[in-house]
Structure 1
Amino acid sequence: MVKYIPGVSVAVLIALISMFLANLEFVQKTLHFSSLILAILLGVVIGNLVKFPESFKPGITFSLKKILRIAIVFLGFRLTFQNVMEVGLVGLIVDTIMLSSTFILGVWIARKWFGLEDKMAYLISSGSSICGASAVLATAPVVKAEMHHAAMAVATVTIFGTTSMFLYPVIYKAGLLPGFDDILYGIWTGATVHEVAQVVAAGFAISEPAGNTATIAKLTRVMMLAPLLLILSFYLAKKHKAHGTGVTLRDIPIPYFVFGFIAMVGFNSLNLLPSNIVSGINYIDGFLLTVAMAAMGLETNVNKIKGVGMKPIYAAAVIFLFLLFGGAICVKLISSILA
């Protein structure tokens, strides 16, 4: 374990600084950047300015892989199966339709329109369709993506998630969503905006009912990360096998941490722990996610990001427009059918 100390220490330090900055009033009210986003930005800057000795490598890799998986497992304490019931049938159907259609369409657009390689297409699509940076981090090991690809994918969901956070309330207040009330607005926001923090900001900018509905719809969408990763793993196994590469299901990194995530959701649904303990677990989990994001930044080579070019941004922009307009149409249609 001693070999991990130098690299983990750097990632932890960056995470602590990021969490401090994220709590500053200016950052909270003006930038609305979460500690995850700040951690990857600081990590990229430090990782490209400072040449760390090789002894730091094991700890950074440990933070990026092991700590990340632990954090994703305990992400389940943010959810309960009761949350799914609270959002209602309309929210559940809209979440399912938008997640699946956004992921499939996003992969197709990224590959066919912009010629991006499969790994990048999967990362951008998972980040856009589920829960932003956390989904990118969880998907990266499944598709065996390089860190500069993951960093670029995080950049795209940050850009368009932040845009959504400011744009959605303006659209609703301008009366551009006929037939929508605060609840339907909340479902639309929760089912289509990228990061949880961005959803909370966009939802509560309208009202408390809108904010609560948006948050629950978003957390229900986060829960769908587990089945998506499992389906993606089996799809990749069959794809490689069909191409004659000799890859079997056992050769594909099945994300077993996903089962831990589901187990934590189930345990949390039983309400066995006091709320203050659950809050403490969520705080520690947020810190661990921030440490993993800092490590990803440290592992990211800016020159490789430059080599990727603007195509990922263009692909993410098209996906964003689909979420914006397609999501509104989906909410209106499903709510009308089930009215």
Structure 2
Amino acid sequence: MAKVLPGLFLSVAIAVTATLLSSLSIVKETVNFSPLIIAIILGVIIGNVWKIPEPLKPGIVFSLKKVLRIAIVFLGFRLTFQNVIDVGIEGLIVDTVMLVSTFLFGVWVSRKLFGLEPQMSYLIASGSSICGASAVLAAAPVVRAEMHHAAMAVATVTIFGTIAMFVYPLVYQFFGDILGFDDVLYGIWTGATVHEVAQVVAAGFAVSETAGNTATISKLTRVMMLAPLLIVLSFYLARKHSIHGAGVSLRDIPIPYFVFGFIAMVGVNSTGVVPQQAVNYINLIDGFMLTVAMSAMGLETNVNKIKGVGMKPIYSALLVFIFLFFVGIISLKIVHAVFG
């Protein structure tokens, strides 16, 4: 804890500042940014203007990983299984369509248009189609990628996931009516197409609580597909290289266990055993924990990393980002027309 506290304190301090700034009338009347968005902006500014001392880094990483996962678990208290049913078959179908199509498109565009190595193409496709950096790091041992492949893929999906986090709420604000989106449809679209869980949470709750809850469910449905995709990918590569009976053990595939914690909390909240006043306090604390995690994400975002990434992976990830954006809208409109 002695190693964690300094960096955790910095993340908390930024979160408190972001919360106070978001409550100012001038902010509400102009940009109306949520504490989550303000926290990551402050974090990026501080992290790139000031060289973060080494003693602070363990606490920042703790905030980004552990605090975020705990916060996502307790996001379950914002939902009930009835809410999940309301998102229903539309969300599941859109998630599945976008995951499969984005992965295949990502591999194709990386290999055929830009001539990237197979390992790099798999990593960019995995990160874009499932859950950003987490999926990249999970897929790296499956595709036997070098660390520089993983680093470059993480940089690309982080860049465009962060862009999406800011662009999506603006698109909904100015073009939501034209697209025929309400908060629920926006949430499904966001959860099915934005890269990282944290970015989805920020983009969803920047619009409304309904959008944020829906986006979280949609995104976590995608995250739960990580293990099946990696299993299929490992078997495909083993067969491709004629390594029958070898490959990656199922025990080596990282399963996002926080997803099951989230589901458990939804179940607890669905029973009604926790008093509503207690649920309100839990949600208040959980919202602040998410803001702490956003602060850490900003601190960990190094703008200079963009300079160290080759342009071909960036071009590839850009096309995948555009694919996610537009095909996500088209898929959602079609599925909603059929099942809505």
TM-score > 0.5, shorter chain as reference:
yes
Mapping for residues 299-318 of structure 1, pairs under 5 Å: 299-308=300-309, 314-315=315-316, 317-318=318-319
2:143 maps to what in 1? none
Mapping for residues 40-55 of structure 1, pairs under 5 Å: 40-55=40-55
| Alignment partners' CA distance in 2, 1:96 and 1:300 | 29
1:208 maps to what in 2? none
| Alignment partners' CA distance in 2, 1:198 and 1:57 | 26
Q: Please give the per-residue CA displacement for 1:302-329, whole angstroms capped at 9, x wherever unaligned.
A: 3323212565664555345444543444
Q: Given the two structures, how large is their TM-score scaled by the length of structure 2?
A: 0.71
Displacement of 1:254 in angstroms is 2.7
List gaps (5 residues or longer) in structure 1: 127-134, 205-210
Kindly tell me the number of residue pairs found equivalent between the two proteins: 316
2:164 maps to what in 1? 160
Distance 1:77-1:49 versus aligned 2 partners, 3 A rule: same
1:220 maps to what in 2? 217
Q: Percent identity?
A: 47
| Alignment partners' CA distance in 2, 1:148 and 1:272 | 47
Displacement of 1:197 in angstroms is 5.6
Contact kept? 2:204, 2:212, Cα under 8 Å: yes
Distance 1:54-1:111 versus aligned 2 partners, 3 A rule: same
Find the residue that maps to 1:2 and give its secondary structure. Answer: coil
Which is further off, 8-17 or 153-162?
153-162
Backbone CA RMSD of aligned residues: 3.9
Displacement of 1:233 in angstroms is 4.9
1:267 maps to what in 2? 268
Distance 1:45-1:165 versus aligned 2 partners, 3 A rule: closer
1:257 maps to what in 2? 258
Q: Please give the per-residue CA displacement for 1:172-204, whole angstroms capped at 9, x wherever unaligned.
A: 645xx6xxxx6x6555423323445645666x8
Distance 1:323-1:266 versus aligned 2 partners, 3 A rule: same
2:85 maps to what in 1? 85
Distance 1:241-1:46 versus aligned 2 partners, 3 A rule: farther
1:129 maps to what in 2? none
Distance 1:52-1:185 versus aligned 2 partners, 3 A rule: closer
List gaps (5 residues or longer) in structure 2: 141-146, 195-199
Task: Determine whether 1:282 maps to 2:283.
Answer: yes
Contact kept? 1:3, 1:55, Cα under 8 Å: yes
| Alignment partners' CA distance in 1, 2:152 and 2:124 | 10
Displacement of 1:77 in angstroms is 2.4
1:65 maps to what in 2? 65
Mapping for residues 27-38 of structure 1, pairs under 5 Å: 27-28=27-28, 30-31=30-31, 33-38=33-38
Mapping for residues 2-13 of structure 1, pairs under 5 Å: 2-13=2-13
Q: Please give the per-residue CA displacement for 1:84-105, whole angstroms capped at 9, x wherever unaligned.
A: 2224544553454345534554
